């Protein structure tokens, strides 16, 4: 009887061991699969992943600016940016800060598309937020699209879209414009 | 000068609404807004509507001029002007509201409706502090009054 019991115990132990080994290899292959998939995504021909990219312009022909991001993926002339932070200096020397979840920087056109949770603010507590924005660096224009809200110490402006034209010193808000401004 | 001006002075009691003067904001809606700097001007274009606690203004266009502290200096309402105030409705071609002086000047084809009575003229000045309205006529358009029975 004791002879059989020993054999049964050994068989059970072998089964448990084989299960553990199988499970380990299975997990490993899954991880490997994920890594391969990630590699496939990243290693699309013509793409380069850049960690913590920084783009600077000291302002010989344009006003100085700096754009930094947590991650960037270069696809030909465009660079997809994640967790974008930027600073732009305007003609008056004032600094404008830019934040967005995602961005698309075109080095040739000198434009930056900002997507999701776009916020632009300055040191005077003027702040504009929107779902989407395009910054045209050469033409000194900022286009805000969808759920535009501009807040200053004296007013709140809401609209469907907005264009800030620094060259012509104008800001145009279009579509369902609603303003709350201090009376006196 | 041969112009004949008729002056009507109407005393109004607006104290009833004085309790609502807590909100120091102006609310303005429109289809489009153009903000120009130096000097700072806001141009509200299309279906423009502005209001504060007591006064409601409608027009095709509303221009807002600001002072150096970016506070409202003047509000100009242009074309198809309609102003609704406690106990009265005013119509005209153009209106200028000065929040500091608390005066509204309406010009063009002005008419004012009060308790069913209709007064028409070429210019109306509403003094919000003294609760007075002065309507004027000119050579082309003398002041006319239509009294409701």
Full 3-state SS string of chain B: CCCCCCCEEEECCCHHHHHHCCCCEEEEEEEEEEEECCCCEEEEEEEEEEECCCCEEEEEEEEEEECCCCCEEEEEEEEEEEEEECCEEEEEEEEEEECCCCEEEEEEEEEEEECCEEEEEEEEEEECCCCEEEEECCCCCCCEEECCC
Q: What percent of chain B has pLDDT over 90?
A: 52
Return all residues near B81 (Cβ < 8 A) that are at least 6 apart: B57, B58, B59, B90, B91, B92, B93, B94, B95, B106, B108
pLDDT tens, position by position, A120-174: 999 998 999 999 999 998 899 999 999 999 999 889 999 999 999 999 999 999 9
Instruction: Compute the average pLDDT of residues A99-105.
Output: 95
Identify which of B54, B53, B56, B48 has the alpha carbon closest to the alpha carbon of residue B29: B48
Instruction: Compute the average pLDDT of residues A78-96.
Output: 91
pLDDT tens, position by position, B38-75: 899 999 999 999 999 889 999 999 999 998 888 889 99
Instruction: Write down the pLDDT at residue B1.
Output: 38
- Do the beta carbons of residue B66 and residue B40 sit within 8 Å? yes
Please confirm whether the linkage preceding B66 is cis (ω < 30° from 0): no
- Cβ contact (<8 Å) for B44 and A178? no
Residue among A128, A150, A165, A182 with most chain B CBs within 10 A, to mutate: A182
Rounded CA-CA distance A21/B128 in Å is 89
- Cβ contact (<8 Å) for B28 and A181? yes
Q: Which of B24, B33, B36 sits opposite A182 (nearest CB)?
A: B24
Structure pTM? 0.76
Instruction: Write down the pLDDT at residue A21.
Output: 67
Contacts of B32 in chain A (CB under 8 A): 172-175, 177
Instruction: Write down the pLDDT at residue B74.
Output: 94
Instruction: Write down the pLDDT at residue B8.
Output: 35
Q: Which residue numbers in chain B have pLDDT < 70?
A: 1-22, 139, 141, 146-149
What interface predicted TM-score (ipTM) does this complex get?
0.79
Query: Does an H or E element contain A84, and which?
Result: strand A78-89
For residue A138, give the DSSP letter: T
| Torsion angles phi and psi, residue B116, rounded to 5 | 90, -15
Instruction: Write down the pLDDT at residue A34.
Output: 44
Contacts of A177 in chain B (CB under 8 A): 28-33, 44
Identify which of B130, B117, B95, B143 has the alpha carbon closest to the alpha carbon of residue B15: B130
Which fold, A47-181? Answer: lipopolysaccharide transport protein A fold (2.60.450)
Instruction: Compute the average pLDDT of residues A88-106.
Output: 91
- Cβ contact (<8 Å) for B35 and A178? no
Q: What percent of chain A has pLDDT over 90?
A: 49
Q: What percent of chain B has pLDDT over 70?
A: 81
DSSP lists the bridge partners of residue B42 as B35, B64
Chain A interface includes B31 (CB < 8 A): yes
Residues A3/A7/A8/A13 CA torsion (nearest 10 deg): 140
- Cβ contact (<8 Å) for B33 and A159? yes
Distance from CA of B43 to the nearest CA of A (A): 9
pLDDT tens, position by position, A45-66: 667 888 888 988 876 667 888 9
CATH superfamily of B8-146: Lipopolysaccharide (LPS) transport protein A like domain (2.60.450.10)
């Amino acid at each position: 009887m004791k002879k059989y019991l020993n054999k049964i115990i050994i068989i059970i132990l072998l089964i448990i061991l084989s299960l553990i080994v199988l499970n380990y290899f299975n997990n490993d292959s899954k991880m490997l699969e994920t890594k391969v998939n990630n590699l496939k995504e990243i290693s699309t021909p013509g793409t380069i992943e850049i960690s913590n990219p920084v783009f600077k312009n000291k302002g010989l022909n344009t006003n100085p600016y700096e754009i930094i991001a947590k991650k960037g993926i270069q696809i030909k002339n465009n660079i997809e940016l994640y967790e974008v932070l930027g600073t732009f200096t305007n003609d008056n020397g004032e600094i404008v800060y830019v934040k967005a979840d995602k961005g698309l920087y075109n080095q040739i056109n000198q434009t930056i598309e900002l997507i999701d949770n776009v916020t632009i603010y300055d040191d005077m507590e003027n702040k504009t937020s929107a779902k989407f924005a395009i910054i045209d660096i050469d033409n000194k224009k900022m286009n805000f699209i969808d759920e535009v809200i501009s807040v200053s110490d004296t007013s709140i402006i809401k609209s469907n879209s907005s264009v800030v034209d620094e060259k012509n010193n104008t800001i145009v808000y279009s579509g369902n414009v609603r303003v709350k401004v201090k009376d006196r | 000068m041969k112009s004949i001006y008729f002056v009507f002075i109407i005393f109004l009691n607006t104290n009833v609404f004085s309790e609502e003067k807590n909100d120091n904001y102006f609310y303005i809606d429109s289809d489009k807004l153009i903000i120009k700097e130096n000097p700072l001007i806001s141009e509200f274009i299309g279906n423009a509507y502005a209001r504060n606690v007591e006064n409601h203004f409608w027009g095709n266009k509303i221009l807002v001029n600001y002072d150096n502290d970016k506070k409202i200096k003047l509000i100009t309402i242009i074309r198809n002007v309609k102003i609704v105030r406690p106990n009265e409705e005013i119509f005209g071609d153009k209106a200028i509201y000065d929040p500091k002086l608390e005066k509204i000047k309406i010009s063009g084809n002005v008419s004012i409706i009060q308790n069913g009575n209709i007064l028409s003229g070429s210019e109306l000045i509403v003094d919000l502090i003294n609760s007075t309205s002065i309507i004027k006529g000119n050579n082309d358009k003398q002041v006319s009054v239509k009294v409701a029975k």
